[in-house]
Structure formats: C-alpha cells, structure tokens
Structure 1
Amino acid sequence: MNKLVLAAALTAAASTASAGNLAEPIVEPVVIEQAATSSSSGILLPLLLLVLVGAAVASS
C-alpha cells in the first residue's frame, strides 16, 4: 500500500512539472542598418555624360 501511494505521488508530481512558462518567448528583432546613399548620386553620371556630349556637339 505504501508503494502504491508513493508511486501515485511521484506520478502526480512528475505530470504537473513544467519546464518553463507557456507564454511565447520575447525575442528582440535584429536591426540591420544599410548604408544610406544619396538619391542625387544616381543622376550625377547621366548629367555628366549629357554635358560631355553637349560639349562635343557644340565644339563640332
């Protein structure tokens, strides 16, 4: 009888044991910084080429 009570107590204790919380873990988001580029850098090369072509046409 004592073994039955001990087995029942251990089973009850083992079944109610929980490894942690049931709530979702809070995970910090990873911040990725990207180097900022100027929007005028994309237009600078075509404008320079246009000026060079215009100078070549004007000198001919």
Structure 2
Amino acid sequence: MKKLIAQVMALSFGASAAFAGGPVVIVEEGQPEVIAEKPASSIGILPLLLIPIILCVALCGGDDDPVE
C-alpha cells in the first residue's frame, strides 16, 4: 500500500514539475480611453429664453389702430 501511495505521489509531483513554468506572455496595455461627458442640459438656456420673448412680441405687438 505504501509503495502504491509513493508511486502515485511521485507521478503527481513529476507531472506538476513537468508543467511548471511555461511561456511568459507580456500584454501591453494601451492608453486609457477618455470619454467626454455631455452637459446635463444639451439644449442650453438660449432657446428657453427666446420662446417667451417671441411669444410676447407676437401677442403684445404694437397696435395698428390710429389715435383719435
């Protein structure tokens, strides 16, 4: 029994020693990719200000009635 265990141990250690090491693979990492974030409001504030101004000009426009 001891001989069998010794042979199995010798085979297992011999097999692990045969596969030890191996080729050294060096993987070069590229530059990190920088992603620019979009601003929270992509529309901007200018169109939001222009809409009320245009509505006011259209609705509160000058009178064409002659003064009596």
More helix by share: 1
- Name the TM-score, length of structure 2 as normaliser: 0.36
Structure index of larger Rg = 2
- Name the TM-score, length of structure 1 as normaliser: 0.39
